[in-house]
Amino acid sequence: MRRIIIRGLDPKYSGLVTATRGWTIRLSFTELESILANQENLDKQMSKVSQKDQEKALFTKKSTSWPR
């Protein structure tokens, strides 16, 4: 079942899948769920940071184009 779940993950989780393949221990479903939830939370946080950076860059670009 774990293999089916891991192979069915979205391509954005390929780094996580590659990392878990090298582990010598087998993950329980609870551990796998926890790792995936943590990864999803990290992705959400990173997307928020990216959006804020983009908004800041757009604002900075617009504000510098005004004549002084």
Name the pTM for this structure.
0.56
Residue 34: C-alpha distances to residues 14, 48, 66 (Å): 17, 21, 49
Of residues 28 and 60, which shows the higher confidence score?
28
**Least-confidence region, from 48-52, 57-61, 64-68:** 64-68
Confidence of residue 1 (pLDDT cuts 50, 70, 90): confident
How many residues are present in the chain? Answer: 68
- Burial of 26-56, coded b for 16+ CB within 10 Å and e otherwise, reads eeeeeebeeeeeeeeeeeeeeeeeeeeeeee
pLDDT digits (tens, 9 = 90+) for 6-55: 788 888 888 888 887 777 888 888 888 898 888 888 888 877 766 666 66
